[in-house]
């Protein structure tokens, strides 16, 4: 049987506390290893937690004496993000820094849209509003979530050609986008992604 895996998103300010609690619940920390995918924490009961910062160091590595300090420092850097969340029921776009929205627009496909038309309508509206929100707003990464095909269709529109060429963060699974979902996503994209593998037989 393959070990069960799950994912958690933890803000950098809470990461050290999360690691302490995780270690305490798994009989203590056995090893800490720096890998290409992030920092791997191995527990004494066989559980592991892979800590992946929200962005690469890009020449701005985290500072600190130890691996954990550097992960927290890197994740806490304020990077400017362009957010594009799309599902068939609606869209949310915005620009954020440090988990705070600087500009945004939330909308729906329209009450008259059905089926495939709803998908096409939401792509058209999302692309148009994203172009307005992103106009004059520089950012380092594109952060996406929702329906992958619809997101790609939005980014493929001519109005967003330059945006589509920018580096992307790992996408998020989101419910139908609204203001609350957009605000939460702005924070989640700045969080450390933790891939937890439970001990075999647990």
Same domain, 100 and 177: yes
Same domain, 129 and 97: yes
- Give tens-digit pLDDT for 97-136: 999 999 999 998 765 555 557 688 899 999 999 999 999 8
Query: 135's torsion region: left (phi>0), alpha (psi -120 to 50) or beta?
Result: beta
Same domain, 57 and 136: no
- Give tens-digit pLDDT for 129-152: 999 999 988 899 999 999 999 999
Global pTM value = 0.88
In the prediction, which pLDDT does 1 show? 46
Let me know if residue 202 belongs to a domain. no
Cβ neighbours around 135 below 10 Å, total: 9
- Give tens-digit pLDDT for 168-197: 999 999 988 999 999 999 999 999 999 999
Same domain, 63 and 110: no
Asked if residue 93 lies in contact with residue 163, where contact means CB atoms within 8 angstroms, the answer is no
Helical (H) or strand (E) element with 67: helix 67-76
- Give tens-digit pLDDT for 39-93: 999 999 999 999 999 998 877 778 887 889 999 999 999 999 999 999 988 999 9
Contacts of residue 123, Cβ cutoff 8 Å, sequence gap at least 6? 86, 150, 153, 154, 157
Same domain, 52 and 136: no
Tokens representing 73? 């420092």
Alpha carbons 78 and 93: distance in angstroms, whole number: 19
Residue 160 has pLDDT above 80, yes or no: yes
């Amino acid at each position: 049987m393959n070990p069960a895996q799950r994912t958690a998103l933890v803000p950098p300010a809470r990461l050290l506390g999360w690691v302490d609690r995780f270690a305490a619940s798994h009989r203590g920390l056995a090893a800490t290893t720096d890998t290409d995918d992030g920092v791997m924490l191995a527990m004494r009961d066989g559980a592991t937690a892979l800590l992946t910062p929200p962005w690469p160091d890009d020449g701005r590595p985290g500072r600190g004496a130890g691996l954990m300090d550097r992960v927290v420092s890197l994740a806490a850097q304020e990077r400017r993000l362009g957010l594009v969340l799309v599902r068939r029921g609606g869209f949310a776009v915005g620009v954020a820094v440090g988990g705070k929205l600087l500009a945004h627009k939330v909308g729906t496909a329209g009450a008259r849209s059905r089926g495939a038309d709803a998908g096409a309508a939401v792509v058209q509206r999302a692309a148009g509003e994203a172009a307005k929100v992103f106009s004059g707003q520089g950012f380092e990464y594109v952060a996406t979530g929702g329906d992958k095909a619809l997101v790609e269709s939005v980014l493929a529109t001519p109005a967003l050609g330059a945006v589509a060429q920018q580096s992307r963060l790992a996408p998020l699974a989101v419910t139908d986008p609204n203001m609350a979902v957009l605000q939460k996503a702005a924070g989640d994209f700045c969080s450390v992604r933790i891939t937890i593998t439970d001990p075999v037989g647990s």
